[in-house]
A and B are shown apart, each in its own frame.
Chain A
Amino acid sequence: MREGLPALYPRLWRFALMLSGSRVAADDLAQKACTRALENAGKFEAGTHLDRWMFTLTRRIWLNELRSEAVRRGNGLVPVEEVELAANSASSEANIFTGEVFNAIRNLPESQRETVLLVYVEGYAYKDAAQMLEIPIGTVMSRLAAARKSIAQKFPDERA
């Protein structure tokens, strides 16, 4: 497990960023997840998917331990600061600057954000994402459909 963690960490952190909405909270959550994983290394079967185990663990820690605290402190919708990009140009090209898409994802409801992250960014199949998120596969589909509609509205000239 110790061998797999360094490569996995930036991806876990990115997932934590999508869950929590702030870089500082993401640091906290990702580190907590790794610590918990190392403490429970005995429960992890070598040869099974470390990444999926860690994504599931990260999400559970967020939901069960950190989320209510963060929401109470008003961190639920804190924008992801220095990743914000702005274009001063009036050209339509500016609309496709990476920041616009990132903002579109950031403004999705948490349930859609986490699903978009696992399926569209991480590339997991619906079935695997459903397992990690502990929801039915139909829910994965409806979250993605809703997310697609929200994002598509902001980028009218796209081909899927």
Chain B
Amino acid sequence: MSENRTSFSDEELTAYLDGELDKQEAAQIKAAAKSDGGVAARLDALAVPMKLLKLSMNPAVLDAPALPAHLAGAAPSPSRGIWVASAIAASFVIGVAVTNFMRPAPNTGWIATIASYQALYVTETLDGATQPPAETAQVLARAQDTFGVDLSEALSVAGLDFKRAQMLGLNGSPLLQVAYLAEDGTPMALCLKSVSGPDRGPKTTVMFDMAGVSWVENGIGYLLIGGGDTAKTEALSSGLAAVL
């Protein structure tokens, strides 16, 4: 079709956004969007944050379970139907109990969630951002009240340029985020939240192509995350742990 179409259905615009149209049709819509403000506006009305959508649905963020052991073993045959049914029932009961008992999810749950958020940061997110000192002081005071940790020294650690501190929430529980830019502009974040469980030393996890180092001390979980260089993040985390 070579005529200049000016009206497209939402379905066609959706197919265009999803890369499902052939080259010719896509070129038509692209041209129409440039010349026709109406088409551009309708494309806007269909725009969704796709990267964020995919991140929020990542199995690690959702804390998706692994294949249960009884299904990874020998394949049940139809003649063992009764055995299979009771094995499933048993694992279902265990599964429910484990899900309830282990709430909040073990470390991977909250770490994956924070990582999925941090994955959205680029240098520009924080570059040129300066938080008013009064606001920083307020956030740190709240953090001190909430977690019993004095974070003033965490604002001036070698290799990390402090940008902003804010209190967020995760599963109804307070979460402190301290945002930095590393010397090379890599966005980094130090996060604190209450966790159940004993103290443990630093552990490195790589998620969404970022290195994260987490540790637990006195019921507080710490996470420093950012950048693809594991060794560098580990070094920075020791620097932070020393002053906290």
Residues of chain A touching chain B, judged by Cβ–Cβ distance below 8 Å, are: 1-2, 5-6, 9-11, 13-14, 17, 23-24, 27-28, 31-32, 34-35, 38-39, 41, 81-89, 91, 94, 96-99, 101-102, 105, 117, 119-121, 125-126, 138, 141-142, 144-145, 148-149, 151-153, 155, 158-160
Contact = CB atoms under 8 A, between A and B. Distances in A.
Contacts of A5: 67, 71-72
B53 interface: yes
Q: Could you say which interface size class chain B belongs to?
A: 35 or more
Contacts of A14: 57, 59, 62, 64
Given A34-B71, A35-B88, A148-B14, A17 B62 contact: yes
Interface in B73-92: 75-78, 84, 88, 91-92
B56 A120 contact: no
Given A88-B174, A99-B56, A160-B46, 18 more contacts: A5-B72, A13-B64, A27-B65, A27-B99, A39-B76, A83-B63, A94-B168, A98-B56, A98-B113, A98-B116, A141-B11, A145-B9, A148-B46, A148-B48, A149-B10, A152-B48, A158-B49, A160-B50
* 8 closest residue pairs by CB, A with B: A98-B56, A10-B64, A160-B47, A9-B67, A10-B59, A141-B11, A145-B10, A145-B14
Given A39-B78, A86-B169, A155-B49, A31 B71 contact: yes
A11 B59 contact: yes
Contacts of A87: 168-169
Contact of A148 (B17, B72, B103, B117): B17
A83 B75 contact: no
A75 B116 CA distance: 28
A24 B96 CA distance: 7
B122 interface: no
Contact of B63 (A24, A82, A142, A159): A82
B43 interface: yes
B48 A10 contact: no
A38 B92 CA distance: 18
Contacts of A81: 103
B243 interface: no
Contacts of A141: 11, 14-15
Nearest to B46: A148
Interface in B38-54: 43-50, 52-54
- Interface-centre pick from A6, A86, A142 (highest chain B CB count, 10 A): A86
A159 B17 CA distance: 10
Interface in B86-143: 88, 91-92, 95-96, 99, 103-105, 109, 113, 116-117, 120
A2 B88 contact: no
A38 B88 CA distance: 13
Contacts of A120: 50, 53-54
